Amino acid sequence: MPDGRLIVLEGGEGAGKSTQARLLADALCALGFPVLRTREPGGSPGAEFLRSALLSGEIDWSPRAETMLHVAARMEHVAKTIRPAIEAGSWVVCDRFHDSTMAYQGHGLDVDRGMIAALGSMVGITPDLTIVLDVPREAALTRLRQRGAPDDRYERLNEAFHLRVNEGFRAIAAEPRHVLVDASGDIAAVHAAIMAAIHDLIRSVRGP
H-helix or E-strand spanning residue 38: strand 35-39
Nearer to ligand T5A, 34 or 185 (CB): 185
Rounded Cα–Cα distance for residues 180 and 174 (Å): 8
Number of neighbours of residue 205 by Cβ within 10 angstroms: 14
* Residue among 24 and 198 whose Cβ is closer to ligand T5A: 24
C-beta closer to ligand T5A: residue 1 or 146: 146
Instruction: Give me the least distance between CB of 206 and ligand T5A, in Å please.
Output: 28
Residue-wise DSSP of 133-175: EE--HHHHHHHHHHH-PPP-TTTTS-HHHHHHHHHHHHHHTTS
What CA–CA distance (Å, rounded) separates 61 from 82? 27
User: What's the closest the beta carbon of residue 138 comes to ligand T5A, in angstroms?
Assistant: 13
Distance between CA 107 and CA 113 in Å, rounded? 8
The CA-atom distances, in angstroms, between 177 and each of 48, 58, 173 are: 27, 36, 9
Could you tell me the smallest distance in angstroms from the CB atom of residue 166 to ligand T5A? 12
CB of 207 to ligand T5A, least distance (A): 32
| Whether 3 contacts 89, CB under 8 Å | yes
What's the rounded Cα separation, in Å, for the pair 183 and 106? 23
Nearer to ligand T5A, 41 or 127 (CB): 41
Largest Cα–Cα distance in the chain? 52
* Nearer CB in complex with ligand T5A: 5/70: 70
Q: Supply the minimum distance, in Å, between the C-beta of residue 31 and ligand T5A.
A: 22
The residue (of 40 and 128) whose beta carbon lies closer to ligand T5A is 40
The contact set with ligand T5A (CB under 6 A) reads 11, 13-19, 39-41, 55, 70, 96, 100-101, 104-105, 143, 147, 152, 154, 186-187, 190
CB of 23 to ligand T5A, least distance (A): 10
